Amino acid sequence: MARHKPAVTDGGFEIYVTYHSTSDGRYVGGLRVLRKSDRKILFPFDGAPEIGPYATPAEAREAAVAYGRQIIATDRGVPEK
């Protein structure tokens, strides 16, 4: 099985992004944020918000990366256990 490469590696974190289309032709970002020190998945979580919809796949991916960076900044400030 092939291992996916992270879109962004930020210190002790990895951000994986994807997108998918909606029935109305717009795009929703997919996001996975991993804290490498303990392999904890910080996003997605139960009740996680949807990222989008956006007009283009590029916008959806960019929004997912930006949201991932916010999650990392928050975890650095107050690490989740």
pLDDT category at 1 given cuts 50, 70, 90 is very low
Q: DSSP state, 14?
A: E
pLDDT value of residue 81: 65
Looking at the predicted structure, is the pLDDT value of residue 35 above 50?
A: yes
Query: What is the rounded average pLDDT of the residues 16-33?
Result: 96
- What share of the chain has pLDDT > 90, as a percent? 81
pLDDT value of residue 67: 97
pLDDT category at 80 given cuts 50, 70, 90 is low
Q: Which residues touch 75 (CB under 8 Å, ≥6 apart)? A: 13, 35, 42
Task: List alpha helices for 1-81, DSSP H.
Answer: 57-77
Looking at the predicted structure, is the pLDDT value of residue 15 above 70?
A: yes
Average pLDDT along the chain = 90
